[in-house]
Amino acid sequence: FDTVSIGQSLTTSNNYTVNIGSSNTVNGIVSLCIGAFSTVTGTLNFGFGSDNFLTGTKNIGIGLRVYSSFSDTIGIGKLLLSNANGASIIGYGVSTANRLTNSTADSLALGWNTTTPQHLFKSDGVNLTMPTSATGLSSGDLWNDGGTVKIV
């Protein structure tokens, strides 16, 4: 079965894989990597960017240093770690050693310059981090007044 490699220092194997860029390794079935210094293995994994690491099944990584060894995840941003099946993330972590991490299965985490999600959308509810004062907020913004959600 066909594999396609375009670039330099590429390792490409298995069925129906495409590897475009520099210093990538793609060894999955129906997998695609476009970028540099990334590893995409498993089945139906798609990596776009740099230094991404995707294994498992049906993962999408877009950005810089998006990591998932589970299944059914999407990571968009930089310095991200999906740590459960279906644990998707949008945002960015603090550093390579301090990634924004989602360990909740079947959820979407949002966060910026943090290691823990600021907002977490789950199949059984939503966890939002909200300001505890209306000071500096715009009309229509939500805030937490001692456990009661208020609108400015």
Looking at the whole model, is its pTM more than 0.85?
Answer: yes
- Interacting residues of 101 by C-beta distance below 8 A, sequence separation 6+: 80, 81, 82, 83, 89, 93, 115, 116
- Interacting residues of 76 by C-beta distance below 8 A, sequence separation 6+: 62, 63, 66, 89, 90
Cβ proximity of 28 and 13 under 8 Å: no
What gap in Å lies between CA 46 and CA 41, rounded to an integer?
9
What sections of 2-97 are H helices per DSSP?
none
Residue 136 gets which letter from DSSP?
T
**Per-residue pLDDT reduced to its tens digit, 64-104:** 999 999 999 999 999 999 999 999 999 999 999 999 999 99
